[in-house]
Structure formats: C-alpha cells, structure tokens
C-alpha cells in the first residue's frame, strides 16, 4: 500500500557517497508535507535519522543529509561506513481520503 516509491537497493564501497530517492505525488510530498527518513537495522525497529526534509536529530552523524524538491525527496549518505548497511524508509503524510501517514517501499543499502 506504499504510495512513496524508493529503489529496492543501492550499494557502494566504504567512503563513497550514495543517494536514495523517494518519489511521491501532489497529495503527499508535493502537498508541502515534510519528509522524514528512518534507518532500520536488521531485527530492529526503524529509527529517525532525518526530519522536516533536512534536519538531523541529535546523535545522527552529519554524513546523513536530506533534501526535497517538488514531489520527491532524497537521502544522501556520504563517507559510507559498514555500519550504514541497513534498510532506509522515507515517510510523509497523504492528504487524500481524510489524511493518513505513509511510508516508502524501502531501500536496502549494501556496503561492498
């Protein structure tokens, strides 16, 4: 039921820069609703790493950065580290049908 589309997987060598896209529509990301990003390590619950499109909670390394343009958003990981291997999900708010929270399809990041 995900209305936010992400690439299934991306990979990179340690130290490289990766970007993950999140494509929505005019009724969610494009409706001026901010985007959050969560990191999910194996067997764990998702953890917030980006809020309000670009801001990092305390304790999240500045290697993680977010951006938003129109109906899409992106998460960038620079200086890729082995500990960044995880699933990443974008999240926003869908304004149709009375409004509800939506997550992306998810992207598996593999560190080569």
| Interaction site with other proteins (CB under 8 A) | 1-2, 4, 34, 36, 38, 44-48, 51-52, 57, 89, 91, 97-106
Minimum Å gap between C-beta 105 and other proteins is: 5
Cβ-defined contacts of 56-65 (< 8 Å, 24+): 64/37
Select 17 or 44, whichever has its Cβ closest to other proteins: 44
Select 18 or 53, whichever has its Cβ closest to other proteins: 53
Give the list of residues 6+ apart from residue 10 with CB closer than 8 angstroms, or none: 18, 19, 20, 107, 108, 109, 110
In whole angstroms, how far apart are CA 23 and each of 28, 35, 44, 99, 108?
A: 10, 11, 25, 18, 16
3-class DSSP assignment, residue 25: coil
Minimum Å gap between C-beta 46 and other proteins is: 6
Minimum Å gap between C-beta 6 and other proteins is: 8
Select 16 or 110, whichever has its Cβ closest to other proteins: 110
């Amino acid at each position: 039921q995900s209305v936010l589309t992400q690439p299934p997987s991306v990979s990179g060598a340690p130290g490289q820069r990766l970007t993950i896209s999140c494509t929505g529509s005019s009724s969610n990301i494009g409706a001026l609703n901010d985007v959050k990003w969560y990191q999910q390590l194996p067997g764990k619950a998702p953890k917030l790493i980006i809020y309000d499109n670009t801001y990092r909670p305390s304790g999240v390394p500045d290697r993680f950065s977010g951006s938003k343009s129109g109906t899409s958003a992106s998460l960038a990981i620079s200086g890729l580290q082995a500990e960044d291997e995880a699933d990443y999900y974008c999240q926003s708010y869908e304004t149709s049908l009375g409004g509800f929270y939506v997550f992306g399809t998810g992207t598996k990041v593999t560190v080569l």
